[in-house]
DNA sequence: TCTTGACATAGAGTTTACTCTACATTGTAT
DNA sequence: ATACAATGTAGAGTAAACTCTATGTCAAGA
């Protein structure tokens, strides 16, 4: 199937402006029809999903762009792309570890508050 | 112990400019000495650590500011602050879940590449 | 006393990632 | 044929979170 930018925008939940911006940044390069309109494909949906994933895990547009450009070059860049993913995997792993630590500390703080609060309540009851 | 902004900057790894910016945004309000210089304390170090944690977990400055202002009001806001933390805890939990899912998908992709690559190698060997 | 370095404020500049505006063109329904 | 909604490009505007610059003050060492 082929999609106009409007349809594709709905399918991906990315604004039309954002899609054009991504094109400008070389993240995605849809074909054009006879009237110069963008034609997005089903593969493009999967590709945008992947871009979103990279974004959600903190990869800046510039680096996603590097990946996208390698991808556009074809199979000869497969191993280079794999290296990028493996190195990104490490980053992701670190992030998860960090968040767990943050969660732990947050729980400590919540516990502390709970204790503080119940002490305050004890005091109020004594009064 | 009391610290000048320069010392405090080193202790917290936040630039002097950033510290002044945080003050402007009401995240932290150090005392001033006779000559109007900022005096940071050891508590301030712990407080900045906590601010960093909130930032690292995606809380925007404006919301941290709300928390900081409640904190400055004292004990009467304890339960309100606790509510904020508990609700932030949920966000954090969601984040961790999301990242795990991203990791899973990333691993799938890496696996896929590995297979692609080995096929390519097989083809080369046959040639 | 003079100079230098850390600090002060006010405000401008930067980066990232959008988001919007203005204006031209095109495909489609009436 | 015409109106109008979707699309096109170019470029301006926005928001967040810094980051830097200009200019001034002041305390301490040479």
Closest CA–CA distance from residue A33 to any residue of chain B (Å): 31
B115 pLDDT band, cuts 50/70/90, is confident
CB of A25 within 8 A of CB of A15?
no
* B103 interfaces chain A, CB cutoff of 8 Å: yes
pLDDT in tens, B98-111: 999 999 999 999 99
Residue B125 has pLDDT above 70, yes or no: no
Test mutation, B93, B94, B95, chain A, max A CBs within 10 A: B95
Strands A2-3, A38-41: pairing is antiparallel
Q: Count the Cβ atoms, other than its own, within 10 Å of residue B101.
A: 12
Q: Are A103 and B85 a contacting pair at CB < 8 A?
A: no
Read off the DSSP letter of residue B27: S
Is CATH 1.10.1660.10 the classification given to domain B1-60? yes
Q: If DSSP codes are grouped into helix, strand and coil, which group holds residue B30?
A: coil
pTM tops 0.85: yes
Q: Is the CB of A57 under 7 A from strand C?
A: no
Residue A125 is predicted with a pLDDT of: 61
Q: Count the Cβ atoms, other than its own, within 10 Å of residue B39.
A: 14
Rg (C-alpha) for chain A, rounded Å, is 23
pLDDT in tens, B21-47: 999 999 999 999 999 999 999 999 999
pLDDT in tens, A19-46: 999 999 999 999 999 999 999 999 999 9
User: Nearest nucleotide (C1') to the CA of residue A36?
Assistant: D8
In chain A, domain spans: 1-60, 74-127
Read off the DSSP letter of residue B77: G
Closest CA–CA distance from residue A89 to any residue of chain B (Å): 7
């Amino acid at each position: 199937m082929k999609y106009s930018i409007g349809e594709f925008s709905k399918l991906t939940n990315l604004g039309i402006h954002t899609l054009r911006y991504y094109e400008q940044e070389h993240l995605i390069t849809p074909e054009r029809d006879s009237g110069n309109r963008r034609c997005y494909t089903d593969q493009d949906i999967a590709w945008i999903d992947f871009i979103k994933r990279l974004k959600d895990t903190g990869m800046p547009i510039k680096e996603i762009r590097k990946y996208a450009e390698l991808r556009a070059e074809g199979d000869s860049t497969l191993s280079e792309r794999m290296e990028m993913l493996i190195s990104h995997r490490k980053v992701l792993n670190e992030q998860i570890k960090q968040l767990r630590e943050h969660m732990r500390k947050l729980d400590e703080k919540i516990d502390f508050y709970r204790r503080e609060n119940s002490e305050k309540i004890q005091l109020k009851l004594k009064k």
